Amino acid sequence: MRVNVTVNGEPKQADDVWEGESLLFLLRERLGLPGSKNACEQGECGSCTVYLDNTPVCSCLVAAGQVQDREVRTVEGLADGDRLDPVQEAFVEAGAVQCGFCTPGLVVAAHDLLDRVPRPSDPEIREALAGNLCRCTGYEKILDAVRLAATRKADPESAAR
């Protein structure tokens, strides 16, 4: 089928799509957006997390045929031009990135958390990131990054420094 979908604010089209393939495959292999990562293909690891109609989902569990006329926002769509989103900046600065494979999914999940809960408690952060696996960092630096991003978003002055 021909899939029409809005991705990161732009209308996109892909032809000859097999409807049963995943949204993740559509993004990576047909639309040239490899930011979302392919690891478990069963919703266990969270590295393919994207927004679908403003809700974070595992893109490996969404059938390509289901995204017709819907809106997708990937990790590529978080930055404002060259200016990284505060969550992305905080991940870099806090050392929350090692091999980087889980990072896009974690960044999207953390981005959604801070949209819903501007000053999350540690249990809220842990709960929100429970579906994203990282095998490098031990998660402490990731928690640091989310706390830092929350502080910066609450006080944009400190982000400018």
By the criterion CB under 8 A, which residues form the site for another protein?
1, 18-20, 22, 41-44, 46, 49, 55-58, 60-63, 65-66, 68, 109, 112, 127-128, 130-132
Which residue, 46 or 77, is less far from another protein as judged by CB? 46
Count Cβ neighbours within 10 Å for each residue of 41-51 and write b for 16 or more, e otherwise.
eeeebbbbbbb
Closest approach of another protein to the CB of residue 81, in Å: 28
Q: How far is the CB of 13 from another protein (least distance, A)?
A: 17
| Pairwise CA distance, residues 4 & 116, whole Å | 29
C-alpha torsion 126→131→135→141, nearest 10: -30
> Which 3 state secondary structure label does DSSP give 140?
helix
Nearest to 148 by CA among 90, 106, 109, 108: 90
Nearer to another protein, 54 or 81 (CB): 54
Instruction: Report the nearest approach of another protein to the CB of residue 91 (Å).
Output: 18
Nearer to another protein, 138 or 161 (CB): 138
